[in-house]
Each structure stands twice: as structure tokens, then as C-alpha cells.
Amino acid sequence: MSFGVDKILTFLFCGLLGAVIARLAILLKKNKNILFSDPFAFLYLMVGILLIISCIYFLPAKLGYYAAQDVIDGKSDSLTLNLSLIDKNSSLNNMSFTLVSYCNDNYYLIKKESNASKNASAQLYIIPKDQVQLAIGQNVASGK
């Protein structure tokens, strides 16, 4: 797992959320009515709520991005799919793909290559579910 600037900022953001929630818990333990009497406690509460909403909104997308990038780079386990499409004349029939995601009834696939991370021109294929007659998957262990 490589640590880029995005990952460091994500971890710092989560750490900040934890610190705000811990500080708010300490304040509430001292005095149950402190939210109404201390303006800083109310500020902690508002910042905590904003951080929680931000984490719910942004964190899954960031983690999904990192997971997909690790699959593409071969750093995590992946699923190899062999597809049989309804259109028998398609050039994609019986090719091996790495499954990046399955979302909104679409398969998001990249062509299975031994050095996909070094190939900057790796093509992403988006194949609708209703075009697939048969999909056979096989788990591939990571190259760690």
C-alpha cells in the first residue's frame, strides 16, 4: 500500500474527526448541559457533525478509488472474468478481464495483462449486464 498525498490527507481527516469526537465526549462527561452554556462545546459539536457528514460522503469514494487502483496495479486480490457475450461476433468474446467494479448493472473491466500498471493506455471496458450471456470468474491472489 503506497502512501500518496491523498491517502495521508484522508488519514489526517479521519484522525481529526476522532479528536473532535473525543474532545466532545470529554466535555459532555464533565457537564451534560455544557453544549448550551459553553460556545466552544457547541462549536465542537458543529465541527463534529460536519466532519461526520463529510466522512460519510467522501470517504467511501476515496477508499473505493484506492481499492480499484490496487486491483489494477495487482497489489490486492482480484477477480478474473471470462465473458461470453450475446453478440457472438464481438471481439470481446472469450477474453480474460480483470473486474474493477460492478455498478448500476454494468461490468467495469480492464483487459487482463501481466503488467497492467506499467501500461498507461490500459483500456476500460464498460459492458452492460444484459449483453453478457455467461461470466466465469476466478479469484487471483495478489502479487505481494
Place of cell 467495469: 108
Confidence of residue 79 (pLDDT cuts 50, 70, 90): confident
> Class of the 78-140 domain?
mainly beta
Q: Where are the alpha helices (DSSP H) in 2-140?
A: 5-30, 34-37, 39-73
Give the start-to-end residue ranges of the domains of the chain.
5-73, 78-140
DSSP labels, 101-142: EEETTEEEEEE--TTTTT-TTPPEEEEEGGGEEEEEEEEE--
Quick one: DSSP state of residue 131?
Answer: G
pTM of the model: 0.53
- Give 6 or 96, the one with higher predicted confidence: 96
Confidence of residue 143 (pLDDT cuts 50, 70, 90): low
Q: Quick one: average pLDDT of 26-48?
A: 71
Q: What is the pLDDT of residues 100-129, one digit of tens each?
A: 888 888 988 888 765 545 555 678 888 898
Rg (CA), the chain: 23
